[in-house]
Structure 1
């Protein structure tokens, strides 16, 4: 049972962290943000005409899910580096940008993909957003919110080694980019949590690429040899694609 106020139900635009937050602030429109890397990789895949199936677990169930949908199963970044087969693609947006012969892709992850998968049966319209498509997502959402729809923006966050949620600042910036875009299009009725996200994005926008590389998740990827993924993730408004979950797969809105 939620404590009073935790569902942000008095506000049209809401914002809360992770899977539990997504459940708490349920709305007609749900925007999942996982900048490094699920929703960035999603944006690149959908641009290339690839259907993307989110999945919560990376184990034998994911392989079965991929087989059922005649889809390619994404592997881990480091696992992909050791494979010679070009069809092996990972959560790396750079790998998705260059892969050939893939029309359907299962992207398992414990964060953004897991949240999107869990929202699939709630009746919400689920959208994947990142820094690359924030403005496009805001333009798609704004008329619906101005028409009375409620919207939950969910920064996915990362995981500490013990499995607990680690709020990841890059996801706050991605959520804030969408929310700031909504405000610029005349949307009102933001929760304080949503306003903080928008203000955070506006504060970092002048040095976005540098800040993204310097944040904890960015340093982790750069140190691991995936600096190019961080660069792709920082391409603000480079994409006009709005991935929407239709059935079990993300396709262009």
Structure 2
């Protein structure tokens, strides 16, 4: 039964969350993580500044130990920034913060997926609505997305209070952008799941408005972080393609 869920035979595949990444990672040549609000958007913003981003699934004392052990600064919660710790998962805060050569960026979704995929030895790429078009073109240029070099695009989603996966519109749109861009660059072997994501992106007349009005966007706006949503919906503004190498995302 496991084979039924690998979307085998297709060059570009789509799955959700950490479990989807764990299932597909051993069967693909590259894995793309999409966590629009806000891990992969933040990684892209940092990569544009030349910061190496270390993914970390923990938000506790272990994260601080991890940062110290890797000679990196540690990002804190959005509401926990200070003069001593100005980095957080907020793209807006990261733009204002001083440059950090290395930064540990904890996140229970995109960062945890990135860390979980690392043992499988496949390239892991961080994609968002800002750089999704660039990522799709890069995948095609590298020869990823063919049936013999398949790509798994992982929409991170969010979490319900009980810890279960909540599929998130912003991540479906980000994944769809990556897939549509790779297909436009010649990689047209799409699983039905991947093709559907690309169709959703193409059919969304105003992506920025959709993200602002969706559940995750409303949560951030109502929580006082509308600038984070605005940065996350800067379609095409990011050209950096962050790839996880030696434990850190750096621009390809």
- With normalisation by structure 1, the TM-score equals 0.95
Please state how far the C-alpha of 1:86 moved relative to its aligned partner: 5.7
Q: Does 1:247 align with 2:246?
A: yes
Cα distance, 1:86–1:212 mapped onto 2, change above 3 Å: farther
* Alignment-derived partner of residue 107 in structure 2: 109
- With normalisation by structure 2, the TM-score equals 0.95
Q: Give matches, 1:204-243, under 5 Å.
A: 204=204, 206-243=205-242
| Aligned with 1:93 (options 46, 67, 91) | 91
SS at structure 1 position matched to 2:37: coil
* Alignment-derived partner of residue 162 in structure 2: 162
* Alignment-derived partner of residue 18 in structure 2: 19
CA displacement 1:201-226 (0-9 Å, x = unmatched): 1111x311111100000000000010
* Alignment-derived partner of residue 28 in structure 1: 29
Q: Give matches, 1:191-210, under 5 Å.
A: 191-204=191-204, 206-210=205-209
* Alignment-derived partner of residue 50 in structure 1: 51
Aligned-partner Cα distance in 2 for 1:101–1:142: 32
Q: Give matches, 1:156-195, under 5 Å.
A: 156-195=156-195
Please state how far the C-alpha of 1:57 moved relative to its aligned partner: 0.8
Aligned-partner Cα distance in 1 for 2:88–2:246: 23
Aligned-partner Cα distance in 2 for 1:119–1:146: 18
Cα distance, 1:105–1:250 mapped onto 2, change above 3 Å: same
* Alignment-derived partner of residue 70 in structure 2: 69
SS at structure 1 position matched to 2:144: helix
User: What residue ranges of structure 1 are gaps of 5+ in the alignment?
Assistant: none
Please state how far the C-alpha of 1:150 moved relative to its aligned partner: 0.9
Please state how far the C-alpha of 1:101 moved relative to its aligned partner: 3.8
SS at structure 2 position matched to 1:250: strand
Contact 1:87 1:102 in 2 (8 A): no
Cα distance, 1:130–1:5 mapped onto 2, change above 3 Å: same
Please state how far the C-alpha of 1:52 moved relative to its aligned partner: 0.2
* Residues matched between the structures, number: 248
Please state how far the C-alpha of 1:87 moved relative to its aligned partner: 4.0
User: What residue ranges of structure 2 are gaps of 5+ in the alignment?
Assistant: none
Aligned-partner Cα distance in 1 for 2:219–2:144: 36
Contact 2:11 2:145 in 1 (8 A): no
* Alignment-derived partner of residue 4 in structure 2: 5
CA displacement 1:65-94 (0-9 Å, x = unmatched): 1001111111111222xx3x1642110001
